[in-house]
């Protein structure tokens, strides 16, 4: 079926998409290539189909998503990629979508920022939908990434993302909330605030959408792919050069803060897919780095109590394999007011103590672990 890939109101390219697999079979016409997603390779004036397919498939729910097999059965689809055409590729993270050429829509009438959307897909992803019932698949949940269960929901008129934790400790939502408190205390960088909700004794983190109808979130992954990496450049150097080439302001300062923050929480999953920059979709001007989000996979969330130790060799991404190595890229740490972090472990204890999944011994270990990370960073700042 022929679709026009749109960036809000702007037609970008025409595509032939296989309805069964969701794959882009051919680029049939190029209209406004300057509005293509960042990082799409061009070959002789035409977007590379493989590159475009990688971007398109990257919009779908990953096959590694917790509970996805059961959800697909409820939704009566075989692959997560099939859900892309069910919602016309619409997202709450950017303004890209596919418009059927035979029966076109207007962005105003179909986007998820202004129009209601179904809760059916989100409920299925959380195991809360009834198999066999007739479901409405028009949902921004179809284009959500990540391996933890999550869903978009309209709450008091706001588009909110609700995210679960993982067994056995269900700790990730609590980590998001203590990360929010850390950001607030540091008072040095933009961040997405999270709050905690409980449903049937299960914790979930919830945050409001940071993207507006005028903006888009561009992942660091696509920024990194916007230029060919030279062999003598490190991953860190190449990323900075890509940002400089694109004209993204404030990246070095942002990375300094991000690396220090991730050191504090021993974040083991700050990959190129969960940070990035924000761009205006109409003018294509860069606003700067996106506020920091998605910090739940940290603070020994999946480690047994005996393995929780602040001085351990915590693995890191995306620039160096350990935090001990990666923090060296941050430069001076004299901007950190460590006095604002003195009792952060006791605040963490309050959240942990309310969880039925975390016992007293684990609570003590986690609080000591966080306190130890603060102490280590303070020692590094004095060197």
User: What CATH number should be reported for the domain holding residue 328?
Assistant: 1.10.1070.20
Pick from 262, 98, 115, 260: which is nearest to 175 by CA? 262
Bridge partner residues of 7 (DSSP): 10, 96
What is the enclosing helix (H) or strand (E) of 51?
helix 49-57
**Last residue of one domain, picked from the residues 97, 115, 133:** 115
Other beta carbons less than 10 A from residue 124's beta carbon: 27
231 and 360 part of one domain: yes
Question: What pLDDT is recorded for position 131?
Answer: 65
Residue 306 within a domain: yes
**Last residue of one domain, picked from the residues 90, 115, 140:** 115
Residue 29 within a domain: yes
229 and 111 part of one domain: no
237 and 348 part of one domain: yes
Pick from 218, 321, 196: which is nearest to 268 by CA? 321
Question: What pLDDT is recorded for position 189?
Answer: 87
Question: What pLDDT is recorded for position 132?
Answer: 62
251 and 111 part of one domain: no
Distance CA(223)–CA(288), nearest Å, equals 12
Helix axes 251-264, 235-246, angle to 10 degrees: 140
Residue 144 within a domain: no
222 and 370 part of one domain: yes
Residue 124 within a domain: no
Question: What pLDDT is recorded for position 20?
Answer: 86
> Whole domain around residue 68: which residue ranges?
2-115
Task: Return the ∠ at Cα 235 (arms to 66 and 327), rounded to 5°.
Answer: 80
**Last residue of one domain, picked from the residues 96, 115, 134:** 115
Residue 146 within a domain: no
Residues of the chain scoring pLDDT < 70: 130-132
Number of folded domains in the chain? 2
252 and 360 part of one domain: yes
Distance CA(240)–CA(245), nearest Å, equals 9
Question: What pLDDT is recorded for position 128?
Answer: 85
Question: What pLDDT is recorded for position 335?
Answer: 95
């Amino acid at each position: 079926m022929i679709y026009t890939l749109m960036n809000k109101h702007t037609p970008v390219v025409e595509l032939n998409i296989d309805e069964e697999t969701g794959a882009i079979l051919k680029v049939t016409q190029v209209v406004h290539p300057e509005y293509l997603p960042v990082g799409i390779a061009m070959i002789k004036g035409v977007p590379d189909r493989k590159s475009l397919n990688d971007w398109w498939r990257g919009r779908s729910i990953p096959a590694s998503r917790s509970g996805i097999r059961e959800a697909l059965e409820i939704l009566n689809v075989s692959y997560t990629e099939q859900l892309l055409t069910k919602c016309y590729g619409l997202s709450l993270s950017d303004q890209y979508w596919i418009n059927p050429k035979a029966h076109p829509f207007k962005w105003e009438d179909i986007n998820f920022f202004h129009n209601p959307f179904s809760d059916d897909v989100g409920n299925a992803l959380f195991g809360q939908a009834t198999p066999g019932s007739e479901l409405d698949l028009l949902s921004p949940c179809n284009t959500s990434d990540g391996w933890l269960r999550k869903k978009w929901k309209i709450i008091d008129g706001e588009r909110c993302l609700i995210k679960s934790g993982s067994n056995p400790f269900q700790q990730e939502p609590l980590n998001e909330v203590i990360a929010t408190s850390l950001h607030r205390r540091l008072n040095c960088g933009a961040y997405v605030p999270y709050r905690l909700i409980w449903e049937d004794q299960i914790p979930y983190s919830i945050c409001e959408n940071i993207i507006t109808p005028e903006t888009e979130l561009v992942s660091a992954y696509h920024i990194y792919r916007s230029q060919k990496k030279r062999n003598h450049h490190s991953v860190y150097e190449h990323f900075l050069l890509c940002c400089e080439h694109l004209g993204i302001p404030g990246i070095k300062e942002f990375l300094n803060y991000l690396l220090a923050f991730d050191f504090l929480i021993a974040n083991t999953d700050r990959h190129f897919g969960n940070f990035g920059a924000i761009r205006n979709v109409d003018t294509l001007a860069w606003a700067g780095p996106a506020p920091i989000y998605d910090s739940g996979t940290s603070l020994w969330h999946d480690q047994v109590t005996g393995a929780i130790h602040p001085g351990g060799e915590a693995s890191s991404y995306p620039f160096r394999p350990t935090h001990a190595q990666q923090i060296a890229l941050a430069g001076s740490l004299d901007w950190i007011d460590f006095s604002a972090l003195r009792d952060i472990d006791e605040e963490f204890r309050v959240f942990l103590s309310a969880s039925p999944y975390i016992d007293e011994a684990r609570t003590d270990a986690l609080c000591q672990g966080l306190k130890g990370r603060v102490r280590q960073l303070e020692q590094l700042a004095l060197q």
